[in-house]
Chains A and B, each alone.
Chain A
Amino acid sequence: MMARPRLAAFALWLVIVAVLATIVSRASFTADMSVFLPRSPTPEQQLLVDQLREGMVSRLTLVGLTGGSAADRAEASRRIAARLREDPRFSAVNNGEPVHLEADRRWLFDNRYALSPGVSAERFTTEGLRAALQDTLNLLASPAGLLAKPLVTRDPTGELITLLNGLDQASQPMLDGDVWVSRDGRIALLLALTRASGADIDAQEAAMNAIRSAFDEARKDLASAAGLELGMTGPGVFSVQSRATIKSEVTRIAAIGSVLIITLLLLIYRSLPVLLLGLLPVVTGALAGITAVSLGFGVVHGLTLGFGTTLIGEAVDYAIYLFVQRGQHKDGSEHADAGMDMFWPTIRLGLLTSACGFIALFASGFPGLAQLGLYSLAGLVTAALVTRFLLPAMLPADFKLRDVRPLGRRLGHLVAGATRLRWLVITLALSSLALITVQRHHIWNSELLALSPVSAADQALDMRLRSELGAPDVRYLIVVNGPDIETTLQSAEALAPALERLQAAGHIAGWDSPARYLPSHATQQTRLASLPERDALARRLQDASTGLPLRAERLAPFLDEADAARQRPPLSRASMEGTSLALAVDAMLLETAHGVRALLPLRAPIDGRQAHLIDAGTVRSALAAAMPSTAGTSPLFLDLKHESDALYGGYLREAIQLSLGGILAILVLLLVFLREPMRVVRIALPLAAAILVVVAALTLAGKQLILLHLVGLLLIVAVGSNYALFFDRGGQNAPQPSPLTLASLLFANLTTVAGFGLLAFSNVPVLQAIGITVGPGAVLALVFSAMLSRRTLPPVPPPSPPSVPLPPAR
Chain B
Amino acid sequence: MILRSLVLLLTLVGGSAHTADWGLAQLMRMLADNAGGRVGFVETRHLAILDQPLTATGELVYIAPARLERHTETPLRESMVLDGDTLTLTREGKTHTLRLRDYPEAAALIESIRATLAGDRAALERTYALSLAGTAAQWTLDLLPSDQAVAKVVLRIRVSGSKGEVRGVEILQADGDRSVMRIEPPRR
Q: Which residues of A contact B (CB under 8 A)?
A: 98, 101, 137-147, 149, 152-153, 164-165, 169, 171-172, 174-175, 177-178, 549-551, 554
Q: Which residues of B contact A (CB under 8 A)?
A: 43, 45, 47, 49-52, 54-56, 70, 72, 75-76, 78, 80, 85-86, 89, 91, 94, 96-97, 99, 101-103, 105-106, 109, 177
Instruction: Please name all residues of chain A whose beta carbon is closer than 8 Å to the beta carbon of B45 when the two chains form the complex.
Output: 140-141, 145
**Chain B contact residues: over half helix, strand or loop, or mixed?**
strand
Decide yes or no: A550 and B50 within 8 Å by CB, A101-B102, A144-B89 being known contacts. yes
Instruction: Please name all residues of chain B whose beta carbon is closer than 8 Å to the beta carbon of A142 when the two chains form the complex.
Output: 56, 72, 76, 78, 80, 89, 91
CB of A250, distance to nearest CB on chain B (Å): 48
Q: Which residue of A lies closest to B52 (CB)?
A: A549
A152 to B48, CA, bound (A): 12
A550 to B99, CA, bound (A): 30
A153 to B97, CA, bound (A): 25
A137 to B96, CA, bound (A): 19
A145 to B110, CA, bound (A): 13
Nearest 3 CB-CB pairings of A with B: A141-B54, A143-B80, A549-B50
A156 to B107, CA, bound (A): 24
Whether the Cβ atoms of B55 and A141 lie closer than 8 Å is yes
A91 to B94, CA, bound (A): 32
Q: Which residue of A lies closest to B173 (CB)?
A: A146
Instruction: Please name all residues of chain B whose beta carbon is closer than 8 Å to the beta carbon of A169 when the two chains form the complex.
Output: 96-97
Whether the Cβ atoms of B49 and A153 lie closer than 8 Å is yes
Whether the Cβ atoms of A146 and B109 lie closer than 8 Å is yes
Instruction: Please name all residues of chain A whose beta carbon is closer than 8 Å to the beta carbon of B49 when the two chains form the complex.
Output: 149, 152-153, 550, 554
Instruction: Please name all residues of chain A whose beta carbon is closer than 8 Å to the beta carbon of B177 when the two chains form the complex.
Output: 149
A139 to B97, CA, bound (A): 16
Chain A to chain B contacts (Cβ below 8 Å), 20 pairs: A137-B54, A137-B75, A138-B75, A138-B76, A139-B91, A140-B45, A140-B47, A140-B50, A140-B54, A141-B55, A141-B75, A142-B76, A142-B91, A147-B103, A147-B106, A172-B99, A175-B101, A177-B101, A549-B50, A549-B51
Instruction: Please name all residues of chain B whose beta carbon is closer than 8 Å to the beta carbon of A174 when the two chains form the complex.
Output: 85-86
Whether the Cβ atoms of B89 and A141 lie closer than 8 Å is no
Q: Which residue of A lies closest to B110 (CB)?
A: A143
CB of B171, distance to nearest CB on chain A (Å): 9
Instruction: Please name all residues of chain B whose beta carbon is closer than 8 Å to the beta carbon of A554 when the two chains form the complex.
Output: 49
Instruction: Please name all residues of chain B whose beta carbon is closer than 8 Å to the beta carbon of A550 when the two chains form the complex.
Output: 49-51
User: Which residue in B51, B56, B85 is a CB contact (below 8 Å) of A551?
Assistant: B51
A149 to B102, CA, bound (A): 17
Q: Which residue of B lies closest to A146 (CB)?
A: B106
A172 to B96, CA, bound (A): 11
A549 to B53, CA, bound (A): 8
Instruction: Please name all residues of chain B whose beta carbon is closer than 8 Å to the beta carbon of A178 when the two chains form the complex.
Output: 101
Decide yes or no: A549 and B80 within 8 Å by CB, A172-B99, A175-B99 being known contacts. no
Looking at A98, A145, A174, the one whose CB has the most chain B CB atoms below 10 A away is A145
A149 to B54, CA, bound (A): 13
Q: Which residue of B lies closest to A105 (CB)?
A: B102
CB of A580, distance to nearest CB on chain B (Å): 14
CB of B176, distance to nearest CB on chain A (Å): 12
Decide yes or no: A175 and B85 within 8 Å by CB, A141-B75, A142-B91, A550-B49 being known contacts. yes
CB of A174, distance to nearest CB on chain B (Å): 8
Given contacts A137-B54, A144-B80, 19 further A-B pairs with CB under 8 A are A101-B102, A139-B91, A140-B45, A141-B75, A142-B56, A142-B80, A143-B72, A143-B89, A146-B109, A147-B103, A149-B47, A152-B49, A169-B97, A171-B97, A172-B97, A177-B101, A178-B101, A549-B51, A550-B49
